[in-house]
Amino acid sequence: MSFALSNPELTVILLDPAADSARQGSRYCTGGYIWQVLDAQRGDLFSGPEYPKAPNTFDGQGAPDMFQRALGAEDAPVGGEVACIGVGRVRRTSPVEPFDVRHNPEVIEFVQWTVQAAQDRIQFSTEAQFKGWAYRLERQVSLQDRVLHSRTTIASQGEAALPVRWFAHPFFPIPPDNVLCQFSTPVSMPENPGYALDPQGFVNRKAEHHWPRGWYQVLDYEKNGQGLTVVQKHPKIGQVTTVTDFMPTFLPIWGNARTFSFEPYFEKVLAPGESAAWSIEYRF
């Protein structure tokens, strides 16, 4: 049974970490998973790599996020365990190096979340430990008018420093003219089969590329300022503006025949007792 935040214009569907475990796997943070946003007049606003089909647990849909660094992955043998922040204990089933949840989908045990729901916000809280690492993680998702805000707070509670490498993965539908997004900081990229920049600085999708195969492209960009704003063109509502309160440490883009995504990364190593907080919001 999913959770919902709703007002006369928008409804936000969030997965229930307990009841919706069949939709979740070893990749995305299970608390605060934004599955879909529905406009009262225009329908679904997010897409996914397999949309409108029901997705597999790795691809997902909507606007999920992920803690990419698995704890203990460097030493775990095949058959052993790692811990994925915000997910739980995961079996290492593949010898492929470096460790990637794409090749290791088996969740042994999900973390348990405490959920506090109010009219305009839902907070998910969990604590977990694995070997020398321990953390407390809070995810708050709120809806005000046409602004969806997601805030993450994590505290290191173990003896070992906690490596945090998080990124948001919003999946947008593709505009018919293939004009995708523009960043508030100057960006560039090498010549590649998938994308190019137009004179206005918008990322354009090359229509001639074989898009069922997809294309992943790392952007070069100026790390100037305290945050990032991205204007994403949208075929149903014109545009969606995404705002972070941090300047990403890494900024790739990815898309296939069904969706397009930019992926702003937040990275920090937290000493024992140290915490960090950051947020991302989508303005529809």
pLDDT at 10: 98
Residue 198: inside a domain, yes or no?
yes
Q: How many CB atoms lie within 10 A of CB 22?
A: 7
Residue 49: inside a domain, yes or no?
no
Q: Is the peptide bond prior to 52 cis by the omega test (within 30 degrees of 0)?
A: yes
Domain interval for residue 263: 179-268+279-283
Cα-Cα-Cα-Cα torsion 185, 191, 197, 203, nearest 10 degrees, comes to -80
pLDDT at 25: 98
Residue 263: inside a domain, yes or no?
yes
Provide block-wise average pLDDT over 10 residues at a time, the chain (284 residues): 94 97 97 98 98 98 98 98 98 97 98 97 98 98 98 98 98 98 98 98 98 98 96 98 98 98 98 98 98
88-91, strands of its sheet edge to edge: 81-84, 88-91, 107-110
Residue 197: inside a domain, yes or no?
yes
* CA–CA distance, 29 with 20 (Å, rounded to integer): 13
Residue 190: inside a domain, yes or no?
yes
pLDDT at 44: 98
Three-state DSSP class for residue 213 = helix
Best CA proximity match to 85, nearest among 148, 20, 152: 152
Residue 230: inside a domain, yes or no?
yes
What is the total count of domains within the chain?
1
Residue 212: inside a domain, yes or no?
yes
Produce one character per residue of 234-267: b if its CB has 16 or more CB atoms within 10 Å, e if not. beeeeebebbbebbbeebbbbbbebbbbbbbbbb
Residue 208: inside a domain, yes or no?
yes
pTM of the model: 0.98
- Decide if 44 contacts 80 (C-beta within 8 A): no
pLDDT at 106: 98
Q: Is the peptide bond prior to 64 cis by the omega test (within 30 degrees of 0)?
A: no
pLDDT at 39: 98
